[in-house]
Structure 1
C-alpha cells in the first residue's frame, strides 16, 4: 500500500468506488471528519493521481450498444513504434472500452461494444483489416455481463 494513504483515505476511496456521487457531507460522516478535512483529502488523492477518473457506468440495455466482444489481437511486428500505433488506434476508437497489452499468444486484449454483428464487422474493418500490422484476431461474444467494474479490493 502507498505510504501516503491511510485508513481514512481508504474509506473515502472505497466509498467513492461504490458511488462517486456521494456528497461531502456523507463522506465526512462515514469518515468521522469535517467537510473541509474531506475536501483536502480528496484534493490530495486527485492531485496524487490515486483517483484517475470519476464516471457514470451506463446500462447498455437502455442504448443501442447491446453486444460485448472480447478480442485478442496478434501483431506482426512488435516494435515500440508499432505497439504505440496500435495503442493510439485503440484509444481513439470509441467502441473499444478497454485495451490491455498482454503476455502470451495475443499482444492485446480488447473489450469492445457494438450495436449488432454488422456494427462489429465495421469495427473490425477499421481496427484490424485496415491495419497491415495485425496478423490475426480472435473474437469471443459475451453471452452475459455477469460482473462489470474496475473497483480495486482495497
Structure 2
C-alpha cells in the first residue's frame, strides 16, 4: 500500500500515543474528524496497524533481566527451523525471535525475573533440543534505548 504524507503523519502520532482522541488526531494532521477516522480504519483494515497494545515497564512487573541469546542449529533444514520457531513461540520468556543470517541461526530476546528463571528456561527449551548445536547468552546490563516505533 502507498502511504501518503497524511497517512505517515497519522501513523507517527499513533505510534507515540494511541490513546489520542480522533478529534485531536484530526487537528494535528489537518483533516476533518470523519476523514481522519476513515483513514485510521483503513490503516487497521489493511493490516498496517497490526495491534494496539499497552507497553509495560518490565522492571515494575518483576522482569529485571533482559537476555539476548544466539542460537546455532545442527544443520540448515527447514523442518528443524520450523520446530524451533514453534517452541520459541510457546515460551513466555521469549519476547522476540529472529531467524538471522551469519554465524548463528536465531537471535532471541528474553525478559526474565532472575538468573534462576533463565536457567530454568535454558533447561526446558535449549539444553534438551537435540537439533540445537550451541547457544550463547548475552546479559543486558541496562537498556539505553527501546522503541516500538517504525521510522516513517
Q: TM-score range by the shorter chain?
A: over 0.9
Kindly state the Cα deviation for residue 109 of structure 1 after the two structures are TM-superposed.
0.3
Q: CA RMSD in A?
A: 1.1
Which residue matches 2:139? 141
Runs (4+) of structure 1 moved beyond 2 Å? none
Stretches of structure 1 that go unaligned for 5 or more consecutive residues are none
Report the equivalent of 1:101.
Answer: 99
CA distance in 2, matches of 1:126, 1:78: 22
Task: Return the match for 1:29 from 23, 27, 30.
Answer: 27
Q: What are the superposed Cα offsets for residues 19-75 of structure 1, whole Å, 9 maximum, x if unpaired?
A: 111121111111121222112111111111111122111111211111000100001
* Structure 1 CA distance for aligned equivalents of residues 94 and 75 of structure 2: 22
TM-score, normalised relative to structure 2: 0.95
SS where residue 87 of structure 1 aligns?
Answer: helix
| Partner in structure 2 of residue 86 of structure 1 | 84
Q: Which one is further off, 138-147 or 48-57?
A: 48-57
User: Which secondary structure state, in structure 2, belongs to the residue aligned with residue 112 of structure 1?
Assistant: strand
Task: Tell me how far apart the structure 2 counterparts of residues 124 and 49 of structure 1 sit (CA, whole Å).
Answer: 35
Write out per-residue CA displacement over residues 68-111 of structure 1, whole angstroms, 9 at most, x where no aligned residue: 00100001132111111111111111110111110011100000
Instruction: Provide the residue aligned with 1:69 in structure 2.
Output: 67
Q: Measure how far apart 1:117 and its partner are.
A: 0.3
Residue-pair matches, total:
152
**Counterpart residue number, 1:52:** 50
Q: TM-score, normalised by structure 1?
A: 0.94
